[in-house]
């Protein structure tokens, strides 16, 4: 079963390698989607793939890389599934 979620990650998540870490984790889990910084200081992402892999990514996103300090991973909602490589997008 394929699952695709849009999330907002808040806390100390910019300037700590969060996007690069997120891209590496998502690719390891064979997920599609994207990640980008938001002007608000949050990170926004879409994770799309097998249910278990998306759930694992959500759990990993709560921990983040070593230098981060994640306060919250909020699922904004379900979105259409993505295909292809996971990508880092420009700040919006």
pLDDT digits (tens, 9 = 90+) for 56-83: 999 999 999 999 999 999 999 989 888 8
pLDDT tens digits, residue range 43-53? 999 999 999 99
Which is nearest to 27 in space by CA: 15, 17, 35, 39? 35
**Local structure of residue 39 (DSSP, 8 states):** T
Catalytically annotated residues: 19, 37
Q: Looking at the domain assignment, is residue 83 inside a domain?
A: yes
Using CA atoms, how far apart are residues 74 and 24, in angstroms rounded to an integer?
20
Q: What pTM, to 2 d.p., does this model score?
A: 0.94
Q: Looking at the domain assignment, is residue 7 inside a domain?
A: no
Q: Looking at the domain assignment, is residue 18 inside a domain?
A: no
Q: Looking at the domain assignment, is residue 80 inside a domain?
A: yes
What's the gap between Cα 36 and its chain centre? Answer: 8
β partners of residue 8: 44, 74
Q: Looking at the domain assignment, is residue 84 inside a domain?
A: yes
Q: Looking at the domain assignment, is residue 81 inside a domain?
A: yes
Range of the domain at 53: 24-88
Q: Looking at the domain assignment, is residue 76 inside a domain?
A: yes
Q: Looking at the domain assignment, is residue 51 inside a domain?
A: yes
**Local structure of residue 23 (DSSP, 8 states):** H
């Amino acid at each position: 079963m394929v699952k695709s979620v849009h999330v907002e990650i808040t806390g100390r998540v910019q300037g700590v390698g969060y996007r690069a870490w997120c891209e590496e984790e998502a690719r390891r889990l064979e997920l599609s989607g994207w990640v980008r910084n938001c002007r608000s200081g949050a990170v926004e992402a879409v994770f799309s793939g097998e249910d278990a892999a998306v759930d694992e990514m959500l759990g990993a996103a709560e921990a983040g890389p070593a230098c981060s300090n994640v306060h919250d991973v909020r699922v904004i909602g379900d979105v259409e599934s993505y295909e292809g490589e996971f990508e880092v997008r420009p700040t919006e």
